[in-house]
Amino acid sequence: MCHMQSKEKGFLKLLFRILVNKYTIVILFFFVYLICFDDHSLVKRYRSSQEIKKLEQEYQDYIEEIEQNKAKIRQLTSDTTYLEKFAREQYFMKRDNEEIFILK
């Protein structure tokens, strides 16, 4: 039992000497600085990567919206019945002999 306690004391003493060593303190301070305070810190990199993911998703959404709008334009320029339907629904246009009632 005494032998075990002396090993633990020796290990703790060695660990304390390593942690109190000026080089260890400087290296630890350097890593903390890099992780938290540097212009290229891990925190800023994580936030930047999240922002990039968000912007890429927005980009994809806009690309899909552009494709939908292009398809709608093609259909509006080629199909007169769709053009008439679109004008009636979106801009409340009517024929001369019609009346429009808007219900909400």
Which residues of the chain have a pLDDT value below 50?
A: 1-2
Residues 31 and 79 in one domain: no
* Number of continuous H segments (helices) and E segments (strands) in the chain: 4, 0
Residues 11 and 1 in one domain: yes
What is the structure's pLDDT at 35? 81
**Type of residue at 68:** Q
Helix (H, G, I), strand (E, B) or coil at 66: helix
Which residues form the domain of 6? 1-38
Cα–Cα distance between 79 and 71 in angstroms, integer? 12
Cα–Cα distance between 39 and 43 in angstroms, integer? 10
What is the structure's pLDDT at 48? 93
Q: φ and ψ at 11, to 5 degrees?
A: -65, -45
This prediction's pTM:
0.55
